[in-house]
Amino acid sequence: MRPVSVFIMDVSDSSSEGNGEALSSYLSKLESKIKSWDGQSGLVQVRHRAGDELIVLAEGYSTAFIIAFYISRIWKYRLNTPYFGLSFGSLERSIERVDIEKWIHPLVKQAREANDYLKKQKDRESFRFQSFEIEPEFLVMMNGMLGLQHVLSTHQTDIQRLVCSLYLIFGKQNAIADLLGRSAPTVYSHFKKGHSEQILQSFREIVGVLNSLGAKTFPDIMLHQENDMQTTIENDIKGQVRDVFSL
């Protein structure tokens, strides 16, 4: 058995007039990007399907959430935001052997249920977990944290959102100030007023909980891939940061 995670991503208002082709093309590029983040490791499978849907299967309890969170922070279309139904648990075979296009599994059902829950929300949140691998009370708490994170994110101005995303990638105030051509105190002010510290801390804490659960459930498996994935994603975005954020 292997620890794995899944997300099913949809896009809000993807059928709105004039955006369908652009979104479909963007999602195809995103599929290729996620494949490049995985490289040749075989730890991630991704498929763009059904027009505006993306499905990811990844090794490790937190990997799918990590990928989803970074996607949400670099996402280009602000009027067509992505939302992610997530699950995690055990898989009896290697990820490379899964035909993700035809894959039927309880983890997919759980991710689909979480995605459908978000789809029915009037004020749609960005992330929701559904999993039988965690106590219901902890699941409620984790989804509650994600709900608060969503509220803080949606109240960010464009510059606060940009600064928050760049902090996720660079983690250094002076580097962001140089990149934006602004003073370090100005950047820090946007960071504080946009509640970026709370948003990024909630991300780190959820990743930490998922990694801890994975380590307890699979004590004999060394789970380094989550941190490796974050490093790979960040290095890739740093290499093309001006294009990614249209700076």
pLDDT at 227 over 90: no
Q: For residue 130, give every residue at least 6 positions away whose Cβ sits within 8 Å of its Cβ, in sequence order, or none.
A: 85, 86, 87, 110, 111, 113, 114, 117, 139
What is the spatial distance between Cα 72 and Cα 63, in angstroms, rounded to a whole number? 14
Q: How confident is the model at residue 159 (pLDDT cuts 50, 70, 90)?
A: very high
What letter represents residue 128's amino acid? R
pLDDT at 74 over 70: yes
- In b/e form, how buried is each residue of 177-213, taking b as 16+ CB within 10 angstroms? bebbeeeeeebbebbeebbbeebbebbeebbebbbeb
Q: For residue 26, give every residue at least 6 positions away whose Cβ sits within 8 Å of its Cβ, in sequence order, or none.
A: 76, 77
Cβ contact 59:44 at 8 Å = yes
Report CA dihedral (101, 107, 109, 114) to the nearest 10 degrees: -110
**C-alpha closest to that of 112 among 10, 1, 2:** 10
DSSP state of 134: S
Quote the tokens at residue 200: 């990024």
What is the spatial distance between Cα 3 and Cα 92, in angstroms, rounded to a whole number? 9
Tell me what the pLDDT averaged over the chain comes to: 90
Q: Which residues pair with 57 in a beta bridge?
A: 6, 45
What is the spatial distance between Cα 52 and Cα 13, in angstroms, rounded to a whole number? 10
pTM for the full predicted model = 0.94
Of residues 89 and 133, more confidence is placed in 89
pLDDT of residue 224: 54
**C-alpha closest to that of 113 among 137, 85, 83:** 85
Predicted confidence (pLDDT) per residue in 205-221, tens digit? 999 999 998 888 887 76
What is the spatial distance between Cα 73 and Cα 163, in angstroms, rounded to a whole number? 10
Of residues 122 and 67, more confidence is placed in 67
Predicted confidence (pLDDT) per residue in 98-111, tens digit? 888 878 889 999 99
pLDDT of residue 16: 65
Domains with residue ranges and CATH for the chain:
2-133+224-244 (3.30.70.270)
**C-alpha closest to that of 69 among 188, 194, 199, 218:** 199
